[in-house]
Amino acid sequence: MTTDTTTTVAPTGETVLDARGVTMRFGGLTAVRDVNLTVNSGEIVGLIGPNGAGKTTFFNCLTGLYIPTEGEVRYKGNVLPPKSFKVTAAGIARTFQNIRLFANMTVLENVLVGRHTRTKEGFWSAVLRGPGFHKAEATSRERAMELLEFVGLEKKAEHLARNLPYGEQRKLEIARALASEPGLLLLDEPTAGMNPQETRATEELVFAIRDKGIAVLVIEHDMRFIFNLCDRVAVLVQGEKLVEGDSATVQGDERVVAAYLGEPFENAPGDEEVAEVEAAEAQAGTPTDAAPGKENDR
């Protein structure tokens, strides 16, 4: 792994991302409601929540794919522009839940595409292929190869992206995102479909990215991965932030367990009430498991 790829390193503790009151509505559906979240430099922050909780929608609000119905997102103090390529240029890069590579381009070319926001050479320079273009191209290739080495794909630089195994395609997505030299990297389910070894390697990779001075915000359903990795974890449930804290705090919060089990987390009946209901049902001869509508109670 090389460590000299240029990035904008924020002083430790500086607020890199500051999302305030972010709400996203689709017609009558509020997918994200009044969510506040900060990420500081040097941090890895996790965003978890059951399916449909609004995690990806929130990511889309951070990266200019969606313009939030309400709220504001700042990166290093500046309000983000409402266009995804401008957000990338500002310093936020992301990967997607469903891999989005250029399948018929080589591994190296995919990373070079990711560098375009950092290339100063304009259209005519590229068309005329003058000395400026060749110099810029050589620098870009060098940087791209450093990134491939960083993620462990340098030997596959000339392979077509579509021929990579799934785990390596995910690594390539990360390399391409890093090519834009971000100060904040958003990872949407980076270990989806990975085996335990690949997941462990991804964990190491994310630590290495943080050590390069890039803050990380990660969505993931693999709880072991999240709790090993993150300095802080925020839990979204039905679009709202339910809990935020370090791994131990979040793991120990009963509301989080209840949310994942689909149980009500406020005014939930205690053991005594449950025992009373079961006793009454037994007396009435109603088989508990076959109670009508039981599955809909959750």
Ligand X SMILES: Nc1ncnc2c1ncn2[C@@H]1O[C@H](COP(=O)(O)OP(=O)(O)OP(=O)(O)O)[C@@H](O)[C@H]1O
Q: Amino acid letter at 74?
A: R
Torsion of CA 6, 156, 222, 80, to 10 degrees: 40
The first and second tokens of residue 240, run together, are: 């709202």
**Is the Cβ of residue 10 or residue 235 nearer to ligand X in the bound state?**
235
Handedness of CA 52, 188, 163, 207 (dihedral sign): negative
- 52 in contact with ligand X (CB under 6 A): yes
Nearer to ligand X by C-beta: 66 or 150? 66
Residue 40 per-residue DSSP state: E
- By CB under 6 A, name the one of 4, 11, 51, 271 that touches ligand X: 51
Neighbour count for residue 60 (Cβ, 10 Å) = 21
Q: Is 98 in the site for ligand X (CB under 6 A)?
A: no
Q: Rounded to the nearest 10 degrees, what angle do helices 107-114 and 166-178 cross at?
A: 30
**Does residue 57 interact with ligand X by CB under 6 A?**
yes
Interacting stretch for ligand X, rule CB under 6 A, among 23-31, 85-93, 131-139, 245-253?
23-31
- Specify the pairing of strand 70-75 against strand 78-79: antiparallel
Dist. CA 4–CA 43, nearest whole Å: 20
The distance from CA 119 to its chain's CA centroid, rounded to whole angstroms, is 25
Q: What are the phi and psi torsion angles at 140 (to 5°)?
A: -60, -45
Q: Is residue 54 at the binding interface for ligand X, with CB under 6 A as the rule?
A: yes
Q: How far is the CB of 88 from ligand X (least distance, A)?
A: 20
Amino acid sitting at position 52: G
Q: In this chain, which of 22, 31, 87, 214 binds ligand X, going by CB under 6 A?
A: 31
Residue 63 touches ligand X, criterion: CB under 6 A:
no
Kindly state the smallest distance separating residue 230's Cβ from ligand X, in Å. 17
Other beta carbons within 10 angstroms of residue 68's beta carbon come to 22
Does 193 bind ligand X (CB under 6 A)? Our answer is no
CB of 202 to ligand X, least distance (A): 18
User: Using CB under 6 A as the criterion, what x/- string covers residues 133-172 for binding ligand X?
Assistant: ----------------------------------------
* Binding residue for ligand X, selected from 53, 177, 178, 259, defined by CB under 6 A: 53
Q: Is 49 in the site for ligand X (CB under 6 A)?
A: yes
User: What would you report as the CA-atom Rg of the chain, rounded to the nearest whole angstrom?
Assistant: 23
Question: What separation in angstroms does the CA of 10 have from each of 43, 52, 120, 218?
Answer: 11, 33, 23, 19
Nearer to ligand X, 59 or 75 (CB): 59
Residue 26 or residue 124: which is nearer to ligand X going by CB?
A: 26
- Considering the complex, state which of residue 192 and residue 208 has its C-beta at the smaller distance from ligand X: 192
Q: If binding is defined by CB under 6 A, does position 26 make contact with ligand X?
A: yes
* Phi, psi dihedral angles at 46 (to 5 degrees): -105, 145
Interface pick for ligand X out of 5, 41, 56, 199 (rule CB under 6 A): 56
Question: How many residues sit in the footprint of ligand X (CB under 6 A)?
Answer: 11
Residue 72, both tokens: 């504001």
Chain contacts with ligand X (rule: CB under 6 A): 26, 29, 31, 49, 51-57
